[in-house]
Amino acid sequence: MRHGNVETEIKLRVPDAAHGRRLLRSAGFRVSQRRAFEANTVFDTADLRLRKAGCLLRVREVRRAGKLTYKGPGSSGRHKSREELEIAAADPRTLSAILEKLGFHPAFRYEKYRTEFRRDGGGEATLDETPIGVFLELEGSPRWIDRTARRLGFSERDYVTLSYGALYTEWCARQRRRPGHMVFAR
């Protein structure tokens, strides 16, 4: 749920997808978009100007459709809030080609399986299965996020406000791996 073009969200770690689904269903959530594979490519300049500014430019491919997203710098606090602008396109490869013609290059790729859930009362919950773990993402007003997190059995100390790119970098450091792309093994 966005207020204007501002996205407010948190992530919550869960042990596995089955546990996440049980939590959401017990809190009255129902699937609004069935599980789908997402391939995300983050674009940047050669000197990583966008990353250094805390911004993101991404092409997402889901079920052969594309979405171009710009995210501005985030605000600090217990929730992550930042400007988000998105536009859908039928062909994600054309979006990527346009960005490359404009001087941007693919800087980071990440994959996940996402299931979207809704319930009355505003906000949206997603279940994200990633190569580095499973996360619930709550997006809505800060009040809705806090109330929903408590209903799911979480407290503010469980809130994760890092991006998947930052979470991946931390995971690589803990695993003593050189960061590359956050993709599933093939």
pLDDT of 46-102, one tens digit each? 999 999 999 999 999 999 999 999 999 988 789 999 999 999 999 999 999 999 999
With a cut of 60, say whether residue 183 has pLDDT above it. yes
Q: What is the pLDDT of residue 3?
A: 53
By the 8 A CB rule, do 41 and 109 touch?
yes
Q: Tokens 């490519």 belong to which residue?
A: 41
pLDDT of 92-151, one tens digit each? 999 999 999 999 999 999 999 999 999 987 899 999 999 999 999 999 999 999 999 999
Domains of the chain: 2-175 (2.40.320.10)
Residues facing residue 9 across a β-bridge: 80, 139
Q: What angle do CA 87, 93, 98 make, to 5 degrees?
A: 70
Q: pLDDT band for 4, please (50, 70, 90 cuts).
A: low
Strands 133-139 and 56-62: unpaired
With a cut of 70, say whether residue 1 has pLDDT above it. no
By the 8 A CB rule, do 44 and 105 touch?
yes
Q: What whole-number distance in Å separates Cα of residue 124 and Cα of residue 106?
A: 29
pLDDT of 150-169, one tens digit each? 999 999 999 999 999 999 99
Q: What whole-number distance in Å separates Cα of residue 108 and Cα of residue 172?
A: 14
